[in-house]
Amino acid sequence: MNDIFCKGKERTGSRSRTFWRWAGALCIPAALSVLFQLLHSKRAVMNFWVFHVMGPGERLLGRLWSRVPVSVMEWLIALFLAGNLVWLVRAVAGLVHRRGLGRSFRRLLALGAAWLWLWCAFCWMWRAAYYADTFAQRSGLSDRACSVEELAAVTRYFAQNAARLAGQVPRDGAGHFAADRETVFQTGPEVYENLTREFPCLAMDPVRAKPIFFSRLQSRLGFTGMYFPFTGEANVNVDAPACLVPATIAHEMAHQRMVASELEANFVGIAACVTGEDVTYQYSGYLMGLIQLCNALYDVAPQTWQAIARSTFTAELSQDWQDNNQYWAAMRSPVEDRAEQVYDSFLKGNGQSLGIRSYGACVDLLVTYFGPAAGVG
């Protein structure tokens, strides 16, 4: 009788422990996600979390993972997706064959819990940055709207500088941009030195960005890089045209500095490049900025843009411009269009009202910051 009683207690205790494990696995991330939704509109709370907890924590992770020469992000994503696939196949197989239905249900529940934890972590380790003070607010730099005349003046300024530097960067026999990739990545940590003196809010112990192994896949999806908050890594697509890789490195490094908005990260990356000491980064920054300015100016004054291009473009600059346009035209696909729509929805859902157009909207900051040098104002 005592043995039967003890076994009954063991089964009851086992069921109780199982219940509490599942309750914790599902309820804790759900509660934390709800807490984020309740707090994300409170700017003071988000500022404290992002700039005193989240940011320092991710920079520490970035320094730790910088000891690994390859992108840890890619390995983690690949392992996570592969594990999801295997787990899902086994769960579905159990349901189809009606064997171990309880086990299959628990597998599906565990898979749901894993994604719920991932979403919770993403909210607290990156989405929070969209609700903290912006770079413009932290730096005091105005992002006022600009007139067509101001836009044209700064566009000409960028075109002239890009043309001036185009012949000073390494090129191959056919005239294509040919700076050594390893050198570009090694130089990356130094690119923010001058800009951080002007804007101390961008200061941090720099770490190297990392090339993405599956860069062609990134291009098919329409991405030139990715900041990964779970490792603090700035990851860069190296299959994209090499002339813009330095500026992309600077852009992803802006995200390491808790510049969440794509609008502002693009501006900060460009400003870091052109105010730096390295000619390759300067040229890439001017070229990246010129593309942003061109897209804006062409929409409102196409003839003005064409006149600027005719009067400033050199053979070297034209070559890089053509290489970039041809590459992305070849990469265009329905997959990229869908990925762009998803990312556009994500940006809008986190207060980025212009969505994917935030990349083009950085011209307001470019005109404000570079206007005096271009003779504006």
Range of the domain at 342: 135-370
Regarding whether 170 and 287 lie in a shared domain, the answer is yes
Q: How many domains does the chain have?
A: 2
Query: Do the domain assignments include residue 63?
Result: yes
**pLDDT (0 to 100) of residue 359:** 31
Tens digit of each residue's pLDDT (9 = 90 or more) over 152-167:
999 999 999 999 999 9
Judged by average pLDDT, the poorest of 85-99, 204-218, 226-240, 259-273 is: 85-99
Tens digit of each residue's pLDDT (9 = 90 or more) over 2-55:
555 455 555 555 555 665 676 678 889 999 999 999 999 999 999 999 999 999
* Burial of 374 from C-beta contacts in 10 A (0-12 / 13-18 / 19+): buried
The arithmetic mean of pLDDT across residues 105-126, rounded, is 90
Regarding whether 157 and 61 lie in a shared domain, the answer is no
| Contact yes or no for 277/267 (Cβ under 8 A) | no
| Contact yes or no for 157/149 (Cβ under 8 A) | no
Regarding whether 161 and 106 lie in a shared domain, the answer is no
| Contact yes or no for 205/227 (Cβ under 8 A) | no
DSSP-derived 3-state class of residue 266: helix
Regarding whether 191 and 328 lie in a shared domain, the answer is yes
Last residue of a domain, one of 105, 131, 157: 131
Query: Do the domain assignments include residue 122?
Result: yes
Q: Which residue has the tokens 């992000």?
A: 73
Cα–Cα distance list, 180 to 54, 140, 189, 282, 306 (Å): 34, 36, 16, 15, 32
Query: Do the domain assignments include residue 274?
Result: yes
Query: Do the domain assignments include residue 228?
Result: yes
User: Does 98 score more than 70 pLDDT?
Assistant: no
User: Does 113 score more than 60 pLDDT?
Assistant: yes
The structure's pTM equals 0.87
Q: Which residues contact 13 (CB under 8 A, 6 or more apart)?
A: none
Determine the Cα–Cα distance for residues 103 and 97; give it in Å rounded to an integer: 12
Query: Do the domain assignments include residue 376?
Result: no
Regarding whether 174 and 321 lie in a shared domain, the answer is yes
Regarding whether 227 and 84 lie in a shared domain, the answer is no
Judged by average pLDDT, the poorest of 82-96, 249-263, 301-315 is: 82-96
DSSP-derived 3-state class of residue 207: coil
Last residue of a domain, one of 71, 101, 131: 131
Query: Do the domain assignments include residue 375?
Result: no
Query: Do the domain assignments include residue 254?
Result: yes
Last residue of a domain, one of 131, 150, 176: 131
Regarding whether 151 and 64 lie in a shared domain, the answer is no
Tens digit of each residue's pLDDT (9 = 90 or more) over 172-210:
999 999 999 999 999 999 999 999 999 999 999 989 999
Regarding whether 171 and 124 lie in a shared domain, the answer is no
- Using alpha carbons, select from 147, 158, 150, 156 the residue that is nearest to residue 305: 156
Query: Do the domain assignments include residue 377?
Result: no
Regarding whether 176 and 157 lie in a shared domain, the answer is yes
Helix axes 245-256, 279-300, angle to 10 degrees: 90
Regarding whether 159 and 117 lie in a shared domain, the answer is no
Regarding whether 184 and 63 lie in a shared domain, the answer is no
Give the CA angle between residues 310, 312, 315 to the nearest 5°: 85
**pLDDT (0 to 100) of residue 142:** 78
Regarding whether 306 and 235 lie in a shared domain, the answer is yes
Q: Which residue has the higher pLDDT, 246 or 361?
A: 246
* Burial of 5 from C-beta contacts in 10 A (0-12 / 13-18 / 19+): exposed
